[in-house]
Amino acid sequence: MPVGDAVIDVKGLSKSFNGRRVVDNVSIQVGRGRICGFLGPNGSGKTTTIRLLCGLLTPDSGSGTCLGFDVLREAAQIKRHVGYMTQRFSLYEDLSIRENLDFIGRVYAIPDRARKVEATLARLGLAERKNQLAGELSGGWKQRLALAACMLHDPQLLLLDEPTAGVDPKARREFWDQIHELAGSGITVLVSTHYMDEAERCHELAYISYGKLLVTGTAEEVVAGSGLATWSVTGEGLLELARELKKRPGVAMVVPFGSALHVSGEDAAALEGAIAGYRDRPGLRWQRAAPGLEDVFIHFMRDAQDNFK
């Protein structure tokens, strides 16, 4: 994309703690109104990268901008113009929804604060609960309040760190409907998630593992670029079959999916050779399958080098 269209445009970001490189030469571009899913295993560097982008941490090396502000020299400006939602609920549980938002409005010195708080309550569907204590809210409503707090100062970039962890499926779906509405209004979103159904709702993806950015692109591009060939097998004795297949050359991984196994390899011909002796085994039904995002990301996790070692 042209640089002028990029709300996030960073190159070579690195950050180390106690001699261990947590973020290693990460480059990301996200355009206006786009939702970028930021994926990776626990401890992969997602949260540290998000904190580098929003100005809470300073990179050891690298360069770039968020919302046009330099990530090295203008961190204070970035913090004023970005909405950052942390993994854990960080508002005051002994204050009401309205009181929490009023407090955030004071922090940002928002003009006409009372009107803005009421408008945000209405926008996020919180008006009828505005006098309820935050500590009495369910996970889904706490999540909605946290998003409202992020939106109070009208940021054009949202950085959301695993915002739906521990939230029920209905609340997750409602949350993502809100995210798409915000993106439709021109707000850019970088959201970290472990849920593959959420990843598929993003316009583009970035996958990080042990500090290194491994792949970027749409979900379709990421799957197509993985080079994985996959077969699905159903029937009897799948547990023992999985043990046998994992030992076969040409089989990169064997993953249970409900009542089936997904058997994948990086070389289609080698994979077919590996499973050839099992194709006629009684009680088994084999068919080619398109690898899914979960297949691809498990594959990435297997091959990534652990930076704790």
Per-residue pLDDT tens digits for 69-124: 999 999 999 999 999 998 888 889 999 999 999 999 999 899 999 999 999 999 88
| pLDDT given for residue 2 in this prediction | 41
How much is the pLDDT for 226? 87
The pLDDT of residue 306? 57
What integer pLDDT is reported at residue 298 of this predicted model? 83
Which pLDDT score is estimated for 42? Answer: 86
pLDDT of residue 295: 86
State the Cα–Cα distance between residues 180 and 158, nearest whole angstrom.
12
Query: Which of 182, 223, 108, 272 lies closest to 163, judged by CA?
Result: 182
Q: Which of 84, 85, 59 is nearest to 74 (CA)?
A: 59
Mapped onto helix, strand or coil, the DSSP state of residue 203 is: coil
Return the CATH number of the domain spanning residue range 227-290: 3.30.70.260
Structure token digits, residue 279: 């194709």
Contact 305, 261 (CB under 8 A): no
pLDDT (0 to 100) of residue 200: 93
CA 172 to the chain's CA centroid: 13
Q: What is the CATH number of domain 3-223?
A: 3.40.50.300
Predicted confidence at residue 1, as pLDDT, reads: 46
Q: How far is CA 51 from CA 80, 90, 154, 160, in A?
A: 14, 15, 19, 11
Low-confidence spans in the chain with pLDDT less than 50 = 1-3, 308-309
Q: Give me the residue spans of the domains in the chain.
A: 3-223, 227-290
pLDDT of residue 261: 93
> What pLDDT shows up at residue 304?
59
Phi–psi pair at 45, nearest 5 degrees: 110, 10
Return left, alpha or beta for 298; rule: phi > 0 is left, psi -120 to 50 is alpha, else beta. alpha
